Chains A and B, each alone.
Chain A
Amino acid sequence: MKEANVKKILIVVGTIFFTLFVLIPVIWMLFVSLTKDLGFLQGGGVNLTLSNYVNIISNKNLHMLDYLKNSIIISTTVSFLVIFIAGFGAYAITRFNFPGKFTIPLMMLAISIFPQISIAGYLFKIESNLRLINTYPALIFPYTAWTAPLALWILISYFSQIPRELDEAALVDGANRKNILLKIVFPLSVPGLISAFLIVFIACINELLFALLLTTDYRAQTISVGITLFQGLHGEIPWGELMASASLVTVPLIILTLFLQKYIISGLTRGGVKG
């Protein structure tokens, strides 16, 4: 067989496998969230309905909207804090010569892959003593520390592409460093800021271990905890409602990701792993 044909076949097979691999679980989730019961698998008919969505939103005991609200507040706060903290850090690293210029960012990188379990127990103890357990700050502080290194590296890679001559020129014109960062470097690296923001935001929505240990009820628990602890009242998991809750979170996230994929891809490839 000619090589061009082999290639064509590989592309077709690859495309089909790729599509099924990625989409089947998601389509199954959406489908189950829209069905009344799963009896159709044993030969019954399919009842399409929105009742699962109505139930999870109207049933206040499930607290789905509370979890969602907590996640959004915590993740947004952390993202802004991290951008600010990592922004100043990345500026110092890319613009100044100082002892630690190399050690600090490399140490941060090592930190960004440490296992969360290695500090979770200790955080629980401190936060219990400070009576922080089950509050927003209980998660905001550790999340900020845990995601800052990632954002730092994304921002370093953007800031280092902005010519230092711009800074020098502004300095000559009498601008101070803070204004150079806020009025020149930040505006010029908006794509980098968006990309760091998104990566941090999604990491916070995603996090489970800290959230399980440091929060105890709907007043501070995040959506990941809510989905993890989702239980039926009568033993059997209510799959329809669970998948409706999952879809409620997943669909906006997928839409966000698809629209902003350019920023996410650049964040992922610049931040953590480099070639």
Chain B
Amino acid sequence: MKIKKNGEIRTAYFYISPLLTIILLFILIPIVGTFINSLYRDITYLPSRFTGFTNYVDLIKLSDFWNSFKFTTLFTVVSVSLETVLGISFALLLKEVFTGRSFLRTILLIPWAIPTAISARLWQLMYNYNYGLLNYFLDVTHTGAKVNWLGTARGAFWAITIADVWKTTPFMTLILLAGLQTIPDELYEQAMVDNATMWKRFLYITLPLLRPALVVALIFRTADALRIFDLVYVLTGGGPAGSTRTISILGFHYFVNGDFGTGSAVSIIIFLLVFIFSFFYIRAGRFKETL
């Protein structure tokens, strides 16, 4: 029996070794490497020099860094909240039985399936001052003056948030819909017998029972939003005047400009920030139980 067990363990490691190898080579080693780089002055054409935590100290003193930090967290809070509200509404709608439900379920995946770079371009056109549908609408209906969506810090913030909510709400909806489907119908039937109103049923049955799914989806999306890069990079490039530069974009700019030391320090900061959330995500998701 002992021999069989050892054989099993060997086979198990043999089967899982390609997975571990590729993760080790292309993720774990690069993360450690990035951390080591962050401790050096590492700028193209300059001799490399160990500087300890100088890059981090310099970053903390830099207003650009704090502006990135503020933008990224504000964006995360606003967009995740909006998509949660929309996600719950859409999920509740899709749970009802009515003509058109299967049509809605079908089109729901469309924003998810469109690559982010493309959806960013699509929204760039929607927001375009002269040719955008949004300004055209404002103009034709006389509801307001044309908005310079991408040219002002405030406009750009909302432009990015709306485009992100459009792209990520389908995912949120699917997760919450899966959560809704685990709530037994009998609970609602009983509540109807007791004459509980729709609002009360939502408040006292749906919301509490949806909570586990909601918490997990929220943490996941928060971690995901904190690392945002592509949508913002294509839509505004971090502008106007750096007002929408997310932490990932800040790091990217350092790399592109050849300052690997500072870029690595920024990368480690965002890595740690996201890691905290992924830790809670794994705990809240009770993933261990499914193994």
Contacts and interface: CB of A to CB of B under 8 A. Distances in A.
A11 B93 contact: yes
A250 B267 contact: no
Contact of A11 (B96, B107, B182, B217): B96
A25 B170 CA distance: 15
Contacts of A95: 12
Contact of A275 (B19, B119, B175): B175
B9 A98 contact: yes
Interface string A213-254: 100000000011101101000000001001100100110011
B115 A269 contact: no
B151 interface: no
B54 interface: no
Interface string B1-24: 000010011011101101110110
A91, A149, A273: most-surrounded residue (chain B CB, <10 A): A273
A88 to B, nearest CB: 4
Given A88-B15, A89-B19, A92-B16, A123 B278 contact: no
B115 A206 contact: yes
B52 interface: no
Contacts of B239: none
B20 A104 contact: yes
Given A96-B9, A113-B224, A148 B23 contact: yes
Given A114-B278, A148-B22, A223 B115 contact: yes
B275 A28 contact: no
Contact of B252 (A120, A126, A202): A120
Interface stretch (B59-67, B124-132, B152-160): B124-132
Which interface class (under 10, 10 to 19, 20 to 34, 35 or more) fits B? 35 or more
Interface in B17-54: 18-20, 22-23, 25-27, 30-31, 33-34, 37
Nearest to B101: A15
Contacts of B118: 224, 227, 246, 249-250
A54 to B, nearest CB: 20
Contacts of A96: 8-9, 11-12, 15
Nearest to B180: A275
A14 interface: yes
Contacts of A249: 115, 118
A191 interface: no
A225 B115 CA distance: 11
Scoring A32, A91, A209 by chain B CB atoms within 10 A of each residue's CB, the highest score goes to A209
A53 interface: no
A28 B255 contact: no
A242 B121 contact: yes
Contacts of B13: 92, 98
A131 interface: no
A64 interface: no
B57 interface: no
A111 interface: yes
A209 B230 contact: yes
Contacts of A268: 171, 174-175
Nearest to A18: B104
Contacts of A84: 18
A6 interface: yes
A52 to B, nearest CB: 13
B251 interface: yes
Interface in B194-213: 197-198, 212-213
A105 B291 contact: yes
B32 to A, nearest CB: 9
Interface string B132-154: 01001000000000000000000
A122 B33 contact: yes
Given A106-B287, A124-B255, A257 B113 contact: yes
Contacts of B5: 97
A121 B34 contact: yes
Nearest to A124: B255
Given A41-B136, A113-B220, 13 more contacts: A98-B9, A105-B287, A110-B278, A116-B227, A119-B31, A126-B30, A206-B117, A228-B120, A253-B114, A257-B112, A261-B106, A264-B113, A273-B216
5 closest pairs, A vs B, by CB? A115-B227, A145-B26, A275-B213, A119-B30, A96-B12
Interface of B: 5, 8-9, 11-13, 15-16, 18-20, 22-23, 25-27, 30-31, 33-34, 37, 89-90, 93, 96, 98, 100, 103-123, 125-126, 128, 130-131, 133, 136, 166, 169-171, 174-175, 178-179, 182, 197-198, 212-213, 216-217, 220, 223-224, 226-227, 229-230, 233-234, 247-248, 251-252, 254-256, 260, 263-264, 266-268, 270-271, 274-275, 277-279, 281-282, 285-288, 290-291
